[in-house]
């Protein structure tokens, strides 16, 4: 096996569970790198002295295993690779291809002699339904496509040319996206074609197969509306008004809700709830949605201009999510704080994001929510321009491109 690029952000989360019998489930949008993560874990196990005979790797999408469809056939394939009673590391890639896989996986877990790793593109099987179908102990690790730090780091790993101007490299990252497979193409059109193919596979293999979409044309309209409005506060009602008033489409609100959940479950979009800072409550109805990868927007649209407001928010949202932060939109009166970031017991941050601070109006808009917030948690203002003053009234002014490029963390 040739050397693989290591996604350290995710390996660091999983390493403590390598020898644990808890079932490790790796989920995420199709083609975000789940299969390669399994391979890098296997690579690390071998480097740490685990013998080949103790590693069982079943790729259910590959030719050798593609005909395995039942739990009994899966069990037979596993047993054929077990040569003794030593502790085993069992890896099953695309496990959702086997209907009823849970019974066999549970059986091996209960033996207490297996460390089990599963991946699957279909989130209906591997998130919500997992709770009831996999009895006992399991833990989910969610993956995203490459963030900007990983994007540059993987290019370096692949000996690809990196622009000496990191800001130009950042613009390319926004348009090209972070799907690892797209890194093997140098032409922009080829990269977008790859992403379009990924989106088509998500619909054909993840959505259509496991969740019935009665009206595909309507689903496509809703998908495009949500994707095109990433980073904006929207609601079921605002989508309903757009469809009924602007598009003259008769539709039920429940159908809209169902189709939004389909997009969420396919990991195309991620919800970001609105949190009222004064009342300390989540505000029902309104949410922002961010894309798993910005190339999804560019693959579905002919306009390749960069709208830096939502784009920078999306970049930071994905980056902080990969670092285990929970994120929400802060609301204080009529003002909005772009993000509230939480992690662990006592890590809590207020965040604003803007392209630049080149006029007084923008400066007042970005700082005003901070001054209205009474709690003394750290405050960050992320900008894409050069920073002249790093600290104003206790607010940390940070260049977002440098912050992610250097793989930094909130402090």
**Domain-embedded: residue 177:** no
**Domain-embedded: residue 81:** yes
Nearest CA-CA partner of 30 in 119, 131, 138: 119
Supply the DSSP symbol for 180.
G
Q: What is the pLDDT of residue 232?
A: 96
**Domain-embedded: residue 77:** yes
127-148 per-residue burial string, b: 16 or more CB within 10 A, e: under 16: beebeebbeeebebbbbbbbbb
Nearest CA-CA partner of 8 in 157, 181, 120, 223: 157
63: helix, strand or coil: coil
**Domain-embedded: residue 214:** no
CA angle 172, 173, 176 (to 5 degrees): 80
How far, CA to CA in Å, does 160 sit from each of 36, 154, 155, 164? 19, 9, 5, 12
Q: What is the CA radius of gyration of the chain?
A: 23
Q: Write down the pTM of the prediction.
A: 0.92
Q: What is the pLDDT of residue 130?
A: 55
DSSP for 141-166, written as a single string: EEE-S--HHHHHHHHHHTT----SSH
**The 138-143 sheet, strands edge to edge:** 55-59, 88-93, 114-119, 23-28, 138-143
Supply the DSSP symbol for 43.
H
Domains: count for the chain = 1
Q: What is the pLDDT of residue 96?
A: 83
Tell me, what CATH number does 81's domain have? 3.40.50.300
Going from the first residue of the chain to its last (411 residues), give the mean pLDDT of each consecutive group of 10, the final group possibly shorter: 86 96 92 95 97 97 93 96 97 90 92 94 54 73 96 96 95 94 92 88 73 84 95 96 94 94 91 93 92 93 90 98 96 95 94 90 91 92 83 90 97 91
Give the sign of the dihedral formed by CA 302, CA 303, CA 306, CA 311.
negative
Residue 30's domain comprises 8-143
Q: What is the pLDDT of residue 213?
A: 82
Nearest CA-CA partner of 290 in 309, 310, 274: 310
Residue 166 CA, distance from chain mean position: 24
**Domain-embedded: residue 247:** no
- Distance CA(297)–CA(184), nearest Å, equals 20
DSSP for 109-132, written as a single string: HHHTSEEEEEE-S-HIIIIITHHH
- Distance CA(238)–CA(317), nearest Å, equals 23
Element (H, E) at 95: none
How far, CA to CA in Å, does 126 sit from each of 92, 95, 118, 302, 320? 13, 9, 9, 33, 23
Residue 382, φ and ψ in degrees, nearest 5 = -95, 130
């Amino acid at each position: 096996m040739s050397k693989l690029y290591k996604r350290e952000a995710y390996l660091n989360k999983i390493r403590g569970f390598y020898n644990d019998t808890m079932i490790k489930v790796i989920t995420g949008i199709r083609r975000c790198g789940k299969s390669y993560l399994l391979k890098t874990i296997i690579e690390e196990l071998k480097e740490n002295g685990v013998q080949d005979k103790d590693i069982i790797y079943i790729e259910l999408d590959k030719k050798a295993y593609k005909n395995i469809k039942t739990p009994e056939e899966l069990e037979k394939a596993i047993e054929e690779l077990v040569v003794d009673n030593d502790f085993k590391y069992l890896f099953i890639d695309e496990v959702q291809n086997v209907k009823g896989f849970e019974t066999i996986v549970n059986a091996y877990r209960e033996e207490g002699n297996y460390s089990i790793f599963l991946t699957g593109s279909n989130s209906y099987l591997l998130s919500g339904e997992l709770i009831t179908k996999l009895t006992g102990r399991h833990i989910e690790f969610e993956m995203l496509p490459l963030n900007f730090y990983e994007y540059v780091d993987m290019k370096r790993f692949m000996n690809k040319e990196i622009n000496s101007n990191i800001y130009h490299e950042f613009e390319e990252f926004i348009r090209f996206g972070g799907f690892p497979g797209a890194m093997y193409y140098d032409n922009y059109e080829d990269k977008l074609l790859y992403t379009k193919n990924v989106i088509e596979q998500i619909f054909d293999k993840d959505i259509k197969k496991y969740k019935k979409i009665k009206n595909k044309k309507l689903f496509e309209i809703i998908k495009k509306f949500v994707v095109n409005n990433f980073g904006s506060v929207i609601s079921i009602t605002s989508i309903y008004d757009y469809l009924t008033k602007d598009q003259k489409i008769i539709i039920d609100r429940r159908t809209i809700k169902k189709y939004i959940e389909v997009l969420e479950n396919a990991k195309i979009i991620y919800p970001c709830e609105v949190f009222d800072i004064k009342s300390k409550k989540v505000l029902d109805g309104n949410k922002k949605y961010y894309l798993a990868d910005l190339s999804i927007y560019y693959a579905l649209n002919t306009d390749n201009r960069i709208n830096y407001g939502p784009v920078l928010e999306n970049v930071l949202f994905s980056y902080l999510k990969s670092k285990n932060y929970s994120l929400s939109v802060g609301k204080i009166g009529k003002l909005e704080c772009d993000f509230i970031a939480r992690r662990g017991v006592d890590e809590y941050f207020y965040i604003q994001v803007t392209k630049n601070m080149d006029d007084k109006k923008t400066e007042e808009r970005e700082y005003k929510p901070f001054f209205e917030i009474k709690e003394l948690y750290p405050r960050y203002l992320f900008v894409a321009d050069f920073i002249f003053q790093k600290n104003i009234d206790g607010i940390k002014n940070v260049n977002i491109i440098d912050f992610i490029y250097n793989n930094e963390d909130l402090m």
